[in-house]
């Protein structure tokens, strides 16, 4: 069994390594440049990373997008570590963070191929699919138990 440590990013240097890992998983396969993996909401967000053998192999972000509502984004597990339960653990940890922040619900934009992954954790689909970065997505939501 792999030893994976899931925790918040420690410092600026680690944050930069996380952006690189995020780019590798979510932007490089789409032919997008470095820098396309970040936005204006990084400061103040919760950045969780999964560490294996001192390497960042997984990452995801949570922020409060409106009062009481969380937004999860940039969920990324390196290909060689996918389908081993790491993404699920990452989201479960973010849900605990959302609970600690007294958020009532969390929303995310799921790529169509990841719908089942989020459904298993308890998210349900909202509204209709739409295109983002040329990929079909759908909004999904989870109510946070108090």
Ligand X SMILES: CC(C)(COP(=O)(O)OP(=O)(O)OC[C@H]1O[C@@H](n2cnc3c(N)ncnc32)[C@H](O)[C@@H]1OP(=O)(O)O)[C@@H](O)C(=O)NCCC(=O)NCCS
Residues at the interface with ligand X (CB under 6 A): 25-26, 75-77, 82-88, 110-111, 113-114, 116-117, 120
Q: How far is the CB of 68 from ligand X (least distance, A)?
A: 22
Q: How far is the CB of 44 from ligand X (least distance, A)?
A: 22
Q: Which is nearer to ligand X, 86 or 144 (CB)?
A: 86
Q: How far is the CB of 80 from ligand X (least distance, A)?
A: 10
Structure tokens given for 73 = 């984004």
CB under 8 Å to 84, separation ≥6 — which residues? 2
Structure tokens given for 57 = 């192999």
Q: Which is nearer to ligand X, 102 or 135 (CB)?
A: 135
Q: Which is nearer to ligand X, 11 or 83 (CB)?
A: 83
Q: How far is the CB of 143 from ligand X (least distance, A)?
A: 19
Q: Which is nearer to ligand X, 14 or 117 (CB)?
A: 117
- CA–CA separation, 18 and 34 (whole Å): 12
Residue nearest ligand X, CB atom distance: 87
Q: What is the DSSP secondary structure assignment for residue 114, as one 8-state letter?
A: G
Sign of the alpha-carbon torsion through 119, 4, 45, 14: negative
In angstroms, what CA-CA distances link 69 with 11, 26, 107, 117, 130?
26, 24, 7, 21, 21
């Amino acid at each position: 069994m792999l030893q994976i440590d899931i925790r918040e990013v420690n410092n600026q240097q680690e944050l930069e390594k996380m952006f690189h890992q995020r780019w590798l998983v979510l932007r490089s396969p789409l032919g997008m440049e470095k820098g396309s993996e970040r936005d204006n909401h990084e400061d103040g967000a919760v950045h969780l990373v999964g560490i294996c053998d001192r390497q960042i192999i997984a990452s995801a972000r949570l922020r409060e997008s409106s009062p009481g509502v969380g937004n999860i984004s940039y969920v990324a597990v390196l290909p060689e570590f996918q389908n081993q339960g790491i993404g699920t653990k990452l989201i479960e940890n973010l849900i605990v963070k959302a609970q600690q922040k007294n958020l009532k619900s969390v929303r995310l934009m799921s790529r169509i191929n990841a719908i089942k992954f989020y459904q298993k954790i308890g998210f349900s689909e909202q509204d209709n699919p739409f295109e983002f970065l040329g990929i079909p997505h759908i909004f999904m939501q989870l109510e946070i138990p108090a």
